[in-house]
Structure 1
Amino acid sequence: MGRQHSMKYPQTLTDFNIFIGGIGHLGTSKKVSLPKIEQIRETITAGGFERSVDTGVFKELESEFILSEFSSVIFSAMSDASKTADGISIEAKGSIFQGGERISIVATFKGSVDIDDGDFEAGKQIERKISMKLNRYILEIDGKEMVMLDTINMIAKIDGKDLLEDLRSHIQ
């Protein structure tokens, strides 16, 4: 009887497309920096040790992505966003390849946008950097919502558990 080996194959991100809610395709992306999910910590000294403790407060959410296209769609979205309080909605849709299978990954960002068009150089590929300060962030892997952070409504769901549910019940 043969022995079965369970081997992990490396994951490769094969492509990323960026879409703006209500407008359409913004472009393909070379790089998407997802927001860091960090809590603010305080240092305390107790029992002869200095250590960090979580405060239960999350740091500001920021994201950045680099586009390989120069699309004017982003300016339409910026002018429309001036009419809403929570900002522009952008989706980054990608595909991860691992061991012969593809897994979808979707990151949804909502917030304010900054654009850095950098330098125009003849003969060089276009690079446009979009930075966002986020009010809302959702990460779905293979169709499952893994993270949903909503700074306006005080929601911090990680793997289905809302870490701020008690806080909302105490103060609302």
Structure 2
Amino acid sequence: MLPRKLKNFLFYKGHGKQKLYQGQIPEIELPKLTRILEDYRAGGMDMGVKVDLGQEPMEMTVKCGGHEVDLYRDFAKPGIAAVPLSFSGAYQRDDDCSVIAVDIYCLGRLEEIDPGSAKLGDDTEESFKYVLSYYRLSVDGKDVIEIDALAMKCVIDGVDQLEAIRNAVGLYITV
């Protein structure tokens, strides 16, 4: 069995995939999903354990093959969910040629613009780093992970990991 390899992808910005950047985005650093774990050991325990304290902040970096003025317009937009971003990728295995669709939809704000170097005749690469408040991963149209910081939701394969905690504190948001 060979691994699935990214064969192609598209990057969109805007609600409903309004703006397509076909041929302009050679690389995207997709969000890392990291849990905050703290060491804990008390009397009666033979070893320490890691206690889950929630999600680390998420980031997404978009690298452009040239100057994309439209992405500059995201700078200093108010609101932690001001900029919608989407990644759609096709991953294929070379042994059985099966293809899966991977879609990542995020909401965030632009934190950093790195315009890179400007040298006559050289390729230019600009980077845009977004900090995210919302993340959803779908594979072949099925949601696998949804993280919504504002709604205090962490849904993994259809199971809301934070529902009991929301209910305990009086937030009755349902999936």
Match of 1:10 in 2: 3
Q: CA deviation at 1:78?
A: 4.2
What are the superposed Cα offsets for residues 23-72 of structure 1, whole Å, 9 maximum, x if unpaired? 512354333222222222221224342332223x2111222232223222
SS of the residue 1:29 aligns to: coil
Distance 2:119 2:156 in 1: 43
Q: Percent identity at matched positions?
A: 22
Match of 1:44 in 2: 40
Kept in 2: contact 1:67–1:128 (CA 8 A) = yes
1:66 alignment partner AA: K
Kept in 1: contact 2:58–2:132 (CA 8 A) = yes
Q: CA deviation at 1:115?
A: 1.8
Aligned: 1:123 with 2:151? no
Q: TM-score w.r.t. structure 1 length?
A: 0.82
Kept in 1: contact 2:80–2:132 (CA 8 A) = no
Kept in 1: contact 2:71–2:128 (CA 8 A) = no
Aligned pairs, how many? 162
Match of 1:4 in 2: none
Structure (1 or 2) with the greater strand fraction:
1
Distance 1:14 1:125 in 2: 23
For the aligned residues, what is the CA RMSD? 2.1
Kept in 2: contact 1:26–1:73 (CA 8 A) = no
Kept in 2: contact 1:16–1:29 (CA 8 A) = no
Task: Give runs of aligned pairs for residues 1-172 of structure 1, distance below 5 A.
Answer: 8-22=1-15, 23-27=18-22, 28-46=24-42, 47-55=45-53, 57-78=54-75, 81-82=77-78, 86-98=81-93, 99-113=96-110, 114-171=112-169, 172=171
Distance 1:16 1:127 in 2: 18
Distance 2:49 2:168 in 1: 28
